[in-house]
Amino acid sequence: MNTETHCQRCGSEPPGCTCRSGPLTPRRSPRAPGDLTPLMTPHEVAVLFRVDSKTVTRWANAGKIRAVRTLGGHRRYREDEVRALLNGDGGRP
């Protein structure tokens, strides 16, 4: 299952979170059948790298990280690739 991060304090998703002071906690959501790879939103990736989500989009446009598009056209990033990049195994953005 994909994990979407929600604020522990107000319970809303990060883009809609108004308190911005509580730690973020993973929350499970359904994923496509047969897909075993967890996907992350641009905001979730940005939180890990401590950058803006637009920076993550720029990295994807530059080919530094691979983005998967949802049916609605939104970008999602494979969690294993993001973790590898964060740990220095996949190069540095």
Q: What is the pLDDT, as a whole number, of residue 69?
A: 93
Residue spans of the domains in the chain: they are 2-86
52-60: which pairs have CB atoms within 8 A and are 24 or more residues apart? Answer: 59/93
More confident call, 65 vs 90: 65
Model pLDDT for residues 28-85, shown as the tens digit of each residue:
444 555 667 899 999 999 999 999 999 999 999 999 999 999 999 999 999 999 999 8
Q: What is the pLDDT of residue 36?
A: 72
- 7 against 51, higher pLDDT: 51
The model's pTM is 0.59
Domain 2-86 has CATH 1.10.1660.10: yes
